[in-house]
Structure 1
């Protein structure tokens, strides 16, 4: 904490008056001035608890969680039953990536002061981030018992319910939180996230846009808007690109253009340092795509750094940690600081995974953290001038692609790579053999199923008498509001309710895979295709019908089908999509044959060849590095 706003206190000013001025400066954001007065007070009285508390708050507010912890621990040692200090120490522990310690401190503060509302609220938030939804819900209810209209407590409860799949309740609580919210943009962003998860993408986009109208720097609303627009079927390639460019323009860092990496060893064939940046080094679809690469990296040629924005830690995280040469937690480190750390680590090629999703941090690239910066597993352009490459393949981005992007495309032989589960349940016969009717199915998120998709699926059901549509995504379709929405869809389509099958259950993976045994034919949504769901369906012998689109996000499923030799299931138009579904539904022998073949075709394809995939990606990194070396040599 460097002091630049130094305040001269009046001669003879009392300690009490200095403390009052310190509080005013803190409230007004004049942290350097507040620190100057704190140190003056502590020169008089080295154990003045109020001055020490303010000094801890200054450290916390300037992002120095470690210093804040040290100061608050000192105060706690002097006054161990001070609930406020326990609370502040909990905040600092949470900021320092220690949610378990933070939760314990909030509980201790509540024991000392049971009506300490902020401690109840922060306990609920900490438990939410730790994934203990049951305890988080209880803490939120305790907070609301003290203050029924507290916007932070309502927001916490809404987000807890959202994580638990109780979507209608989540939207209700987040709507209630909006009225009394002090931070309207944040409240609108939380509400929009719940609306999107519940499948109401138009309402979500409206919420995100309202948040951005109030605060153009509400980055979470901005990021969520970039995700939501992937589900909109009517946006043109130019409109998508313009939205990304507007987003990126806010984060332009002119100083990044002056970063030259002049001291980099430019030997084209030397061992390269590869950095991967992600919040998803855990049991997550991106991790399951990445693991075959990390497991098979040539360690003699590449040194692997994993920069982890850790949200949850599990067995998959432990495997990533063991495979990495270096594991760096990025929690509590801002973008500029982390970019400086990466330059200090002398990263050669920096790979940003699934940029817009979860807690990922593509904006580090704007600071030019490495000579070569790559977008990997995002679904559209980053829009950033400093993002050099976007990994793709020739099916996702053919030569005639209409998609627009700021990066240079690097086309791999195949983009996707999957980690097969260790124990795959045996594929079962098509259920139509026993049911006497065809069951179409979709196990994708509700937000991916838009009005255009619903209308086409309605045509398919009308074209295949007595057929059913089965929907499943975690426990979402057990939500009364979501179920009611889908019953309304069927009523508008003129379809009997008995033809709608809503499956619900946050199942273990093996039970989830067995649920595909209830489906004869999977229907892929568009424009935001399913990747993991396509893989799972094919693994269980269920044919997937997909539609070729005009960009990365709506060519995923069709590209995967083509890579395993089943391109005949990918349609070039909605009419062809319907025809493929109708013909396949009428061909029981073909369904039976596919049930036994698709899983084998998938597992023996290049989509499940980790060693070969690693060589291809490494060749890409090497090509990118050579290109950079040649460029700076000119």
Structure 2
């Protein structure tokens, strides 16, 4: 059971971390997280973006282009191609699922939600549709709705770690951190060491106010070659929250221009320079927190 101190301080800590995370995302040029709700890189709707040449292509040719774009992680192109197939065949589950996944990758969450609402109406009991719709709802900040779809999907596909991880995200959004962490650990039991699950688990500990454990988990995540830039930036934020600005700056520079990384850390440092925040850190960590004056940045 959470103690009252953690309950009181964790929301403010979460807002602080979220504010700096937003700065990092913007500094990366609008790259959108799959768990975010931003629409920073959304393509034109597939119906209006198709050129005459594209429209003249056969379904097989469009699908081949979509598969190639997906494999090469050209998510904008993948969204355009899968979207064209989806517009041609709205009852095609494969096209709808891949269209939604590509849209999530580029942060076009509202478009993904519209697509999945439509395909779910046609296929209300399909496990893959339930899972993807639940993930989209979680990404759009509707965890209460997401949980229902994800739970139904999990009952049909209990070995799918992605569903368990998505359930964890939704539970974190609801402030049910212990339950979320159980879901992440269950996902890790199916796919040990998965860096995306570890990243979610680490952020769950941040939201809970457990910075030491968050650091341990995020360090394990970034040690994996598959770790993303956002995971490294989240570790940098945690290190900054703990007053380790020197290492936080070095880590931030791994993916950002030096000036941007330093500005981000300076912004965090300025926020952390407020006495009330440092007192909060002492309470959360159980020991006096390092102050900005006792650390240095490169």
TM-score, length of structure 1 as denominator length: 0.34
- Deviation of the 1:135 alpha carbon: 0.8
Deviation string for 1:107-137 (max 9, x for gaps)?
2221111111112122212222321111111
Residues 505-520 of structure 1 correspond to what in structure 2 (within 5 A)?
none
- Deviation of the 1:5 alpha carbon: 6.0
Partner of 2:30 in structure 1? none
Q: 3-state SS of the aligned residue for 1:444?
A: helix
1:123 maps to which of 167, 177, 202: 167
Tell me if structure 1 keeps the 8 A contact 2:109–2:140. yes
- Deviation of the 1:73 alpha carbon: 2.1
Q: Distance in 2 between matches of 1:225 and 1:182?
A: 28
Tell me if structure 1 keeps the 8 A contact 2:103–2:111. yes
Q: 3-state SS of the aligned residue for 2:51?
A: coil
Partner of 1:207 in structure 2? 248
Tell me if structure 2 keeps the 8 A contact 1:162–1:194. yes
Give the direction of change, closer, same or farther, for the CA distance of 1:4–1:526 in structure 2 (3 Å limit). Answer: closer
Q: Distance in 2 between matches of 1:33 and 1:154?
A: 27
Give the direction of change, closer, same or farther, for the CA distance of 1:32–1:196 in structure 2 (3 Å limit). Answer: closer
Matched, 1:66 2:110: yes
Structure 2 residue ranges without an equivalent (≥5): 1-43
Tell me if structure 1 keeps the 8 A contact 2:240–2:268. no
Partner of 1:35 in structure 2? 80
Residues 440-519 of structure 1 correspond to what in structure 2 (within 5 A)?
444-446=279-281, 473-474=283-284, 476-477=285-286, 482=287
Residues 46-65 of structure 1 correspond to what in structure 2 (within 5 A)?
46-57=90-101, 59-61=103-105, 63-65=107-109
Between Structure 1 and Structure 2, the one with more helix by share is 2
Partner of 1:140 in structure 2? 184
- Deviation of the 1:25 alpha carbon: 3.0
Q: 3-state SS of the aligned residue for 2:279?
A: coil
Partner of 2:210 in structure 1? 166
Give the direction of change, closer, same or farther, for the CA distance of 1:112–1:225 in structure 2 (3 Å limit). Answer: farther
Higher CA-based Rg: 1
Residues 334-353 of structure 1 correspond to what in structure 2 (within 5 A)?
none
Identify the structure with bigger relative contact order (alpha carbons < 8 Å, sequence gap 6+): 2
Matched, 1:153 2:194: no
Deviation string for 1:143-180 (max 9, x for gaps)?
11111211122222222233334333222211111111
Tell me if structure 2 keeps the 8 A contact 1:209–1:221. no
Tell me if structure 1 keeps the 8 A contact 2:79–2:103. no
- Deviation of the 1:191 alpha carbon: 2.0
Matched, 1:182 2:226: yes
Deviation string for 1:528-579 (max 9, x for gaps)?
9xxxxxxxxxxxxxxxxxxxxxxxxxxxxxxxxxxxxxxxxxxxxxxxxxxx
Partner of 2:264 in structure 1? 223
Q: Distance in 2 between matches of 1:37 and 1:191?
A: 34
2:152 maps to which of 98, 108, 117: 108
Deviation string for 1:35-91 (max 9, x for gaps)?
356436754x45222223344345545544333223212222333333332222123
Tell me if structure 2 keeps the 8 A contact 1:151–1:178. yes
Give the direction of change, closer, same or farther, for the CA distance of 1:6–1:30 in structure 2 (3 Å limit). Answer: farther
Matched, 1:90 2:134: yes
Tell me if structure 2 keeps the 8 A contact 1:121–1:153. yes
Q: Distance in 2 between matches of 1:71 and 1:217?
A: 40
Tell me if structure 2 keeps the 8 A contact 1:208–1:222. no
Give the direction of change, closer, same or farther, for the CA distance of 1:40–1:152 in structure 2 (3 Å limit). Answer: closer
Aligned CA-pair RMSD: 3.8
Q: Distance in 2 between matches of 1:444 and 1:12?
A: 63
Give the direction of change, closer, same or farther, for the CA distance of 1:159–1:35 in structure 2 (3 Å limit). Answer: closer
Residues 143-542 of structure 1 correspond to what in structure 2 (within 5 A)?
143-180=187-224, 182-197=226-241, 199=242, 201-202=243-244, 204-216=245-257, 223-228=264-269, 444-446=279-281, 473-474=283-284, 476-477=285-286, 482=287
Give the direction of change, closer, same or farther, for the CA distance of 1:135–1:46 in structure 2 (3 Å limit). Answer: closer
How many correspondences in the alignment?
246
Q: 3-state SS of the aligned residue for 1:87?
A: helix
Q: Distance in 2 between matches of 1:8 and 1:124?
A: 43
Structure 1 residue ranges without an equivalent (≥5): 233-378, 380-441, 447-471, 490-524, 529-634
Residues 544-555 of structure 1 correspond to what in structure 2 (within 5 A)?
none
Q: Distance in 1 between matches of 2:198 and 2:77?
A: 34
Q: Distance in 2 between matches of 1:180 and 1:156?
A: 14
Give the direction of change, closer, same or farther, for the CA distance of 1:181–1:7 in structure 2 (3 Å limit). Answer: farther
1:8 maps to which of 36, 53, 74: 53
